[in-house]
């Protein structure tokens, strides 16, 4: 599966750099998506809505949505503004990305993006909140149960 994800990543990068490629919403560059997701995670961690963060920067909540989804690229100056308003270093938005010249890790970056995307959903946040309410012993047992269920699901889907 990781090979397929890496091939798709390379294909998207090639399309984005091609002079004939048309800009489509599904052609969001993986780095733009990742930076947007990091912005969303940081905003949520700071307990701010899109509207509140937008007001601090002088943007609409719709623009914040576009940045968080990766549909609009965030300029360096805007990233600097976000970092200042959210009290984080600019580098925070790039955490988890592989080095640009290391193509074999693109599949891992996609996996990280998928995890971040889930954690920023309402369901993901509720899931984490409920897990954290459990005692450490029950968390360990719940993890073992989830791991078993996932392994069974993978066996059924193949």
Categorize the per-residue pLDDT at 3 as very low, low, confident or very high, splitting at 50, 70 and 90. Answer: very low
Query: Rounded distance, CA 90 to CA 83, Å?
Result: 5
Range with lowest mean pLDDT among 78-92, 114-128, 130-144: 114-128
Contact 39, 49 (CB under 8 A): no
- Pair 7, 52 in one domain: yes
Separation in Å, CA 137 to CA 32, 69, 144, 146: 39, 37, 11, 14
- Pair 106, 137 in one domain: no
- Pair 103, 127 in one domain: no
How many Å separate Cα 6 from the centre of its chain? 17
Query: Rounded distance, CA 120 to CA 104, Å?
Result: 26
Domain count, the chain: 2
Give the CATH number for residue 76: 1.10.260.40
Q: What is the pLDDT of residues 25-34, one digit of tens each?
A: 468 888 888 8
Is-above-0.75 flag for pTM?
A: no
């Amino acid at each position: 599966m990781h090979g397929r994800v890496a091939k798709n990543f390379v294909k998207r990068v090639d399309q984005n750099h091609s002079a004939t490629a048309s800009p489509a919403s599904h052609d969001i560059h993986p780095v733009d998506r990742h930076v947007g997701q990091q912005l969303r995670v940081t905003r949520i961690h700071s307990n701010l809505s899109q509207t509140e963060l937008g007001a601090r920067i002088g943007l609409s909540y719709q623009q914040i949505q576009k940045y968080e989804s990766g549909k609009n690229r965030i300029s360096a100056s805007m990233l600097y503004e976000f970092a200042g308003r959210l009290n984080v270093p600019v580098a925070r938005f790039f955490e988890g990305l592989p080095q640009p010249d290391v193509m074999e890790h693109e599949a891992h970056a996609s996996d990280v993006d998928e995890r971040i995307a889930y954690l920023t959903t309402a369901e993901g946040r509720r899931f984490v909140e409920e897990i954290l309410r459990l005692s450490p012993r029950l968390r360990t047992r719940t993890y073992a149960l989830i791991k078993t269920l996932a392994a069974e699901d993978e066996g059924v889907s193949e």
